[in-house]
Amino acid sequence: MPESTPGLEVRNLTKRFGNIVAVNDVSFEIASGEFFSLLGPSGSGKTTMLRMIGGLETPDAGDIFLEGKKITFLPPEKRDVNIVFQNYALFPHLNVYDNVAFGPRRRKWPEDKIRREVTALLEMVHLSGYEEKYPRQLSGGEKQRVALIRALILKPKLLLLDEPLGALDLKIRQALQLELANIQYEVGITFIYVTHDQSEALTMADRIAVMNKGRILQVGTPKEIYEHPVNRFVANFIGNTNLFEGVVKEIAGQDVKVDVPGLMELWGIASENHVAQLRIGQRIAVSVRPEKMRLSRVKPQKPGYNLVQGVVDDLIYLGVSTEFLVRLPNDQVVRVFAQNISREDELWSITWDEPVWVYWRPERSLVLADEAPT
């Protein structure tokens, strides 16, 4: 990825609607050609963010730079940015061909060039022969693909996609996720993909920005975000996690000893930034992913591991793995994933109401801040 001028830079962007701060002092950079995802629950400000980059909303403060050029207040028609809208926004009075040709005609492309490009793009998304159809005659997935090439045909420097697969059912969504990722790779255009679906973001994006309440909490690759969430919200929003609420007892380097009242004392690690802000006696949460925990019938002889006994409340056989819900002495239920590797495995026969030990390595438990550490 080129590191010189970022494809897009957003600096201290803020947008208010009445008393509500939809986007609150947000800054980030995206490299050219990157597949970037804005991920957050509804109302987190991600769509407003997208509309400001597309020029459909005017920011109250801050700036937007596209390849180094300031575009903060440029009207949408003057920006080298195109949008794929949430509900496709295909023009109902125009057929597929005229929908896709809409942008090029505004730019006064010669009609034979338009025909060539439209035909090629329709072929790319497997819609050859659909030229004369009207949007109402298309299925959701077909509308989505038309909306995509209508925005792509102008070869923008940046393509904004607002939950483009949100309205489709699972099978089509998964197929289109792959198709979109391939198309992005082929055309090499920078994508910003807004979604509330964490698995979609993890599947497709090079990097993800997790948003909540108008702020970006964390930016990173899917792996970074999953393995090293910076705070409680990110840990909870991306994948499943078990949270232990407790108090800091001891700090040794990045290792933190946490007292979980009525349950156990456990060791976890905090990020470098975070550990500097931690104080003895502070209330914090510790996150442990279900697949990082292990189960055993007999007390495991693993010195240094975090260890607690519980009772199997429920178990869900998922083929590849089994999900155990273990009730701990403080009545908290933790989720533990175990791979179904072998039938001789001692886990194979564990069943309801059996006492089991849950254990994990200290570095698998992350000490989390409520807010992102600064």
What distances in angstroms separate CA 228 from CA 201, 236, 269, one per listed residue? Answer: 16, 12, 10
- Give yes or no for residue 126 binding another protein (CB under 8 A): no
- Give yes or no for residue 112 binding another protein (CB under 8 A): no
- In our burial notation (b when 16+ CB lie closer than 10 A, e otherwise), range 119-134 reads eebbebbebeebbebe
d(CA 61, CA 72): 9
- Give yes or no for residue 322 binding another protein (CB under 8 A): no
Query: Between residues 95 and 287, which has the closer beta carbon with respect to another protein?
Result: 95
State both tokens at 99.
Answer: 């929908």
- Give yes or no for residue 18 binding another protein (CB under 8 A): no
- Give yes or no for residue 85 binding another protein (CB under 8 A): yes
Stretch that binds another protein, among 148-156, 308-316, 347-355, 364-372 (CB under 8 A): 148-156
Query: Between residues 151 and 248, which has the closer beta carbon with respect to another protein?
Result: 151
- Give yes or no for residue 139 binding another protein (CB under 8 A): no
Which of 28, 134, 305, 359 binds another protein (CB under 8 A)? It is 134
Whether 275 and 256 have beta carbons less than 8 Å apart is answered as yes
What distances in angstroms separate CA 129 from CA 105, 115, 121, 246, one per listed residue? Answer: 21, 13, 12, 62
**DSSP per-residue codes, 233-256:** HHHHHSS--EEEEEEEEEEETTEE
What torsion, rounded to 10 degrees, do the Cα atoms 124, 128, 130, 131 define? 90
State both tokens at 307.
Answer: 């260890």
Which of 26, 30, 83, 356 binds another protein (CB under 8 A)? It is 83
Residues in the chain: 374
d(CA 80, CA 315): 52
- Give yes or no for residue 42 binding another protein (CB under 8 A): no
52, HSE (Cβ side, Cα atoms, 13 Å): 29
Which of 19, 42, 136, 317 binds another protein (CB under 8 A)? It is 136
- Give yes or no for residue 113 binding another protein (CB under 8 A): no
Q: How many residues bind another protein (CB under 8 A)?
A: 25
Q: Tell me whether strands 158-162 and 190-195 are parallel, antiparallel or unpaired.
A: parallel
- Give yes or no for residue 310 binding another protein (CB under 8 A): no
Where in 86-105 is the site for another protein (CB under 8 A)?
86-87, 89, 91-93, 102-103
Stretch that binds another protein, among 83-91, 250-258, 276-284, 302-310 (CB under 8 A): 83-91
Query: Between residues 83 and 288, which has the closer beta carbon with respect to another protein?
Result: 83
- Give yes or no for residue 59 binding another protein (CB under 8 A): no
Which of 40, 54, 164, 229 binds another protein (CB under 8 A)? It is 54
**Which DSSP state fits 151?**
H
- Give yes or no for residue 28 binding another protein (CB under 8 A): no
7, HSE (Cβ side, Cα atoms, 13 Å): 22
- Give yes or no for residue 110 binding another protein (CB under 8 A): no
Query: Between residues 195 and 198, which has the closer beta carbon with respect to another protein?
Result: 195
Q: Tell me whether strands 35-39 and 190-195 are parallel, antiparallel or unpaired.
A: parallel
Q: Which residues of this protein are in contact with another protein, per CB under 8 A? A: 54-56, 75-77, 81-83, 85-87, 89, 91-93, 102-103, 106-107, 134, 136, 150-151, 154
